[in-house]
Amino acid sequence: MSDGGHSPWYLAYRRLRRNRLALAFLAVFVLIVAFVLAAPLWADHVADTGPNTTHTTEKVEVGGEQREVVNIEGKPIGPLWFDAGGRFFLGADGPLGRDEMVRLMYGGRTSLFIGLTSALITAVLATLLGLLAGYYRGWTDGVITRLLDLIWSFPVVLLGIALGTALALGGLKIGPLEIAGNSIWIPILIIAVVYTPYMARPIRGEVLALREKEFVEAAVAQGAGSVRLMFGELLPNLWSTIIVFFTISIANNMLLEASLSFLGAGVQAPNSSWGKMVSLGSESIYTSPLLAFAPGVLILLTVLSLNVFGDGLRDALDPKSRSKLVRAEAAEAAAGGAI
């Protein structure tokens, strides 16, 4: 018991620090974030163009020779690396001749932004619903659980494209808030809602177990009200579950965003994302495979790094069987939410 003096968070941090695999993949994720954050730098100082600027009829100088960005058959130029000073580093996309590297960097910003914000909304919604259902039990629990089960009944991709298409056509109005059909907040909200049950269920389960513990009784004896019990006593015990789910949720949400955008029910023009780029690239898969592979591989790397790091985080936060339940449910959630 030499660890007795340290907080559980510090112990988790020490365990995480020993997990080389998880740290390596965290580094990959940080690199990807840095890559997309550097988009304006690369666009302004290296590529000298924007993500939506077309170069259909232009020529680019490669080693003293003038080459067409898009040839007469509509086939775009391949990767030039640094032959043209960093312009068209990964080539252009066809038939518009936009700089693929610049588009990848900006598209990744959208993908990551949607993944992060929707995961944040999912986490807040799921925590609130899980706390309310698990704390009040009875009919509150009944209503919330049924509502979550209802969403759970739909295959995620199908519910996503149904909502995505209907809302892209109509936009959304919530009270005073009006969202246009082509806003990226439409896919963000859709993804957040669709995945809420997968996170709310295990949190509810944990709250149900926690509220039988002595520390809750002690707080009740001290005269704590419902709000203090939920947010002052129960919530602090849920943080480790929430953090693990949040990390894996970013990965799942990014995959769903990519699938929706791929099918045309996610990010709408003029915005772009990696999923939308794969969709565009798949149209010329046999002539310019890189246009589909590059954004696809970036999605894979991002999602993989988050999943591996999330696993490491889970091992660090609950090393023993404390949440065998949570682990089983997490696997189930990952499976049920899988696309």
Chain contacts with other proteins (rule: CB under 8 A): 21, 146, 149-150, 153-159, 161-173, 178, 251, 255, 258-259, 262-265, 275, 278-279, 281-282, 285-286, 289, 292-293, 296-297, 299-300, 303-304, 307-308, 311, 324, 327-328, 331-332, 334-336, 338-339
**Closer by beta carbon to other proteins, 151 or else 209:** 151
**Closer by beta carbon to other proteins, 47 or else 291:** 291
Helix axes 138-152, 185-210, angle to 10 degrees: 140
Is there a contact between 216 and 210 (Cβ–Cβ < 8 Å)?
Answer: yes
> Rounded to the nearest whole angstrom, what is the least distance from the CB of residue 169 to other proteins in the complex?
5
Is there a contact between 189 and 121 (Cβ–Cβ < 8 Å)?
Answer: yes
> Rounded to the nearest whole angstrom, what is the least distance from the CB of residue 280 to other proteins in the complex?
12
> Rounded to the nearest whole angstrom, what is the least distance from the CB of residue 99 to other proteins in the complex?
21
**Closer by beta carbon to other proteins, 271 or else 307:** 307
**Closer by beta carbon to other proteins, 178 or else 217:** 178
> Rounded to the nearest whole angstrom, what is the least distance from the CB of residue 25 to other proteins in the complex?
9
CA distances from 30 to 41, 157, 239, 302 (A): 17, 28, 22, 9
Rg (C-alpha) for the chain, rounded Å, is: 24
Helix axes 290-317, 274-282, angle to 10 degrees: 140
d(CA 85, CA 93): 18
> Rounded to the nearest whole angstrom, what is the least distance from the CB of residue 264 to other proteins in the complex?
5
- How does DSSP assign 134-153, residue by residue? HHH-HHHHHHHHHHHHHHHT
**Closer by beta carbon to other proteins, 37 or else 339:** 339
Write down the number of H helices and E strands in the chain: 13, 6
